[in-house]
Amino acid sequence: MAAMHFSVIQFPGSNCDHDCLHVLGAVLKQKASLVWHQQAQLPRGTDCVVVPGGFSYGDYLRCGAIARFAPVMDDVRRHAARGGMVLGICNGFQILAEAGLLPGALLRNRSLKFICDYTHLRVEHARSAFTSLARPGQVLRVPIAHGEGNYFCDAATLRRLEERGQVAFRYCEPDGRVTPDANPNGSLDSIAGVTNEQGNVLGMMPHPERVSEAALGGEDGRIIFESMLAALCRR
């Protein structure tokens, strides 16, 4: 299988860019490169775009609110419209939501505090390109690290998300039960990650790149990247 080409977008203030590059390149042996936010176009041959975590533009104004105007984002939108895969992690999720590529918004954590901790995620379905190798209902242990990850959308949108299977992950107990205690930040319906209607754009607050190597205390995050590779292979 030829290596897939991942473009990791680098904004001023991105700080998980190198972590994503490391997992995709050194761990999963794919082609991965940083793309500076000022570039008007993604590198040719980009199979998948990753919008990494961090504090793009210092999270000033509002998380992700400035990044969505970056020159490179126009081409990210075109890539998504063509059906190309886009994964937004943490601040990347906030940016994709601000850019209108994903529904909903991320509010301040219910506790009003930044939280860095392990969470458990229930895979809601295996239909999207990002979860195809997982079993529906499978529980993944993936950490979060954010101050504004409290997912919110209006009632009509929530209904649509449910109907169309756009909820990718929910925070849950280690045994898979979705409970208020397992919801770390107050997210609506315990939502931890959503896709767009077509299923080719995923945003998630937890960090799969932090649990993709056994040495770091877990490999549950790999299934997301490996699902993406499997989906790219199928095409």
Partner 1 sequence: MTARTKQTAETPAPRMGDPAITPQLVKEHGVSPEEYRNIVKILGRTPTFTELGIFSVMWSEHCSYKTSKPLLRGFPTSGKRVLQGPGENAGIVDIGGGYAICFKVESHNHPSAIEPYQGAATGVGGILRDVFTMGARPIACGDSLRFGDPQDPHVQRLIDGVVAGVGGYGNCVGIPNIAGETVFDDVYRENCLVNALALGVLKHSEIARGTASGVGNSIIYIGSTTGRDGIHGATFASAELSEASEEKRSAVQVADPFMEKLLLEATLELIRGGFLVGIQDMGAAGLTSSSVEMAFRGGAGVDIEVTRVPQRETGMSPYEILLSESQERMLLVAKKGKERAVGAVLAKWGLHAAVVGKVTASGLHRVFENGKLVSCISPAALADDHHPLFPVAHLPMRRPAYLAKAWAFKPKSLKAPKGLGQALLSLLGSPNLRCKEWVYRQYDHMVRTNGLVLPGSDAGVIRIKENGKAVALALDGNGRYCYLDPHEGGKIAVAEAARNVAVSGGEPIACTDCLNFGSPKDPEVYWQLGQAVKGMAEACRALKIPVISGNVSLYNESPQRAIDPTPIVGVAGLLEPVKGQLRTATQWFKRPGDRVYLAGESFDELGGSEYLAVLFKKKAGKPPRLDLKAEKALQGFAVAAIRAGLCDTAHDLSDGGLAVALAEMAVTGGRFGARPLGAEIALASRLRPEAALFGESQSRALFAVQPGQAKALESLARRHKVPLKALGAVKGDRLQVTLNSKPALDLGLEQLEKTWRTPLM
Active site residue ranges: 90, 207, 209
**Parallel, antiparallel, or unpaired: how do β-strands 115-123 and 167-172 relate?**
antiparallel
In this chain, which of 118, 165, 186, 188 binds partner 1, going by CB under 8 A?
118
CB of 147 to partner 1, least distance (A): 8
Q: In this structure, how many other beta carbons lie within 10 angstroms of the beta carbon of residue 24?
A: 27
According to the binding rule CB under 8 A, does residue 114 interact with partner 1? yes
Distance CA 213, CA 227 (A): 16
Please list every residue from 213 through 232 that binds partner 1, using CB under 8 A: 213, 215-218
Distance CA 163, CA 154 (A): 14
CB of 2 to partner 1, least distance (A): 26
C-alpha distances out from residue 212 to 5, 35, 141, 167, Å: 18, 22, 11, 22
The interface mask with partner 1, positions 158-197, x = CB under 8 A, is ----------------------------------------
**Parallel, antiparallel, or unpaired: how do β-strands 48-51 and 5-10 relate?**
parallel
Q: Are 161 and 194 in contact (CB under 8 A)?
A: yes
Tell me which stretch binds partner 1 (CB under 8 A): 54-62, 95-103, 152-160, 227-235.
54-62
CB of 19 to partner 1, least distance (A): 5
From 41, 53, 126, 121, select the one nearest 84 (Cα to Cα): 41
According to the binding rule CB under 8 A, does residue 115 interact with partner 1? yes
In this chain, which of 117, 156, 180, 181 binds partner 1, going by CB under 8 A?
117
Distance CA 229, CA 211 (A): 17
Please list every residue from 33 through 52 that binds partner 1, using CB under 8 A: 36
Distance CA 139, CA 201 (A): 21
Distance CA 107, CA 219 (A): 28
Helix (DSSP H) and strand (DSSP E) numbers for the chain: 5, 11
Neighbouring-strand partners of residue 141: 120
In this chain, which of 44, 82, 113, 234 binds partner 1, going by CB under 8 A?
113
CB of 198 to partner 1, least distance (A): 30
CB of 160 to partner 1, least distance (A): 33
According to the binding rule CB under 8 A, does residue 207 interact with partner 1? yes
The site that binds partner 1 (CB under 8 A) totals a number of residues, namely: 35
According to the binding rule CB under 8 A, does residue 19 interact with partner 1? yes
Binding site for partner 1 (CB under 8 A): 12-13, 15-16, 18-19, 22-23, 26, 36, 53-55, 57-60, 113-118, 141, 143, 145, 147, 207, 209-210, 213, 215-218
